Amino acid sequence: MEKIINIPGELLNTPEEIPVPEKQPEVKPPAVPESPVIPAKEPDIITEPQPFQPDIPTEVPPANW
């Protein structure tokens, strides 16, 4: 009988701890949207190399000359 009383006591403590961790995850979701913004800047860096490609073809015409 005493063991059964201890079980309910632990269950009451667990529910209290669960609500606290739940609040932390909620704060993390907002931080996730910020990370996608950083990757969006990476594509801009890829667009810079594209201008360099045209420079390579420019060297081809002189080679034929």
**Along the 65 residues of the chain, how does pLDDT read in single tens digits?**
555 555 555 555 555 555 555 555 555 555 555 555 555 455 555 555 555 455 555 555 655 55
Q: Which residue range(s) make up the domain with 26?
A: 2-64
- Domain count of the fold of the chain: 1
Tens-digit pLDDT profile for residues 39-48: 545 555 555 5
Structure tokens at 28: 């993390």
Distance, in Å, from the CA atom of 49 to the CA atom of 34, rounded to the nearest integer, reads 26
